[in-house]
Structure 1
Amino acid sequence: MQVPDGLDPELLERLVSSGGGELAVKMGIEFLELSASRSVARMPVAGNRQVVGLLHGGAHVVLGESLGSVSSAIHAGPGRYAVGIEINATHSRSVTEGFVTATCEALVLGRTLCTHETVVRDEAGNRCSTVRMTNLLRDCR
């Protein structure tokens, strides 16, 4: 996994030791690149399908939220944390096999709010969904 220089060591340890969190591990999410402005991850379709065999729409959202949350936490820096306050998704194409790759890019990196847009693509490069997430940045107590 590619991580930025100066990443909060405590956040990096949490990411590495937990594999990105329990849900990310269950869904097979693999983080490839992490930074506040751009993050990339991939996820298998197998194990994340809905009853008719399509990648579950909620799986797209989990992938987008995982990247948006981590990217916002990186931007927040030491002594601060990110809390999701809004998320939405538009699903444009179904996928039934292989892997999807998500690229998360910052739209706003502010002092108190971060907004990221994540595009999920299939192995052919087709856009399958777009997830937009806003996080509130808070100080640890």
Structure 2
Amino acid sequence: MAEVVHADVLKQILIRLYVEDLIRCKRVCKSWHSLITSPRFINRHLNRSYNEDRYYNEVSNRRVCISHRHCSLVGSSNGLVCIISCISSRKVLVGNPLTREVRQLRLPGWMNHSPPVCSGFGYDSSKDDYKLIVGVEKRKN
């Protein structure tokens, strides 16, 4: 006879898993998928991971390598990595190396004509959102 696990106990178990294991757990049922993909669960899992990283130096599975020389790392925040790819086409990609999910950002039209001089990527806690900052040289008329 199968026993039911209380929801709070299930959350405490899932919050301790590695991201790779959570990805597999999302396929168990719809309720687990909803829980694991909810912003609240993601934030709690991320905070727990950060707290564990303070005490353990082994973070080798979190390293990112860029092997393409036409790409540059803009920055990283909360496990997300921002890369400017294919300098001639100005693609900006934000990805999560652990889940292998990547999204391409829409850029304003003026970026197609002005190469970035400096850039940065980070998390804005006041807006609960990520920001890409790009600096370009002023065009001479």
Whether TM exceeds 0.5 here: the answer is: no
Q: Which has the higher strand share?
A: 1
Query: Could you say which TM-score interval applies, normalised by the shorter chain?
Result: 0.3 to 0.5
TM-score normalised over the length of structure 1: 0.36
Higher relative helix content: 2
TM-score, structure 2 length as denominator? Answer: 0.36
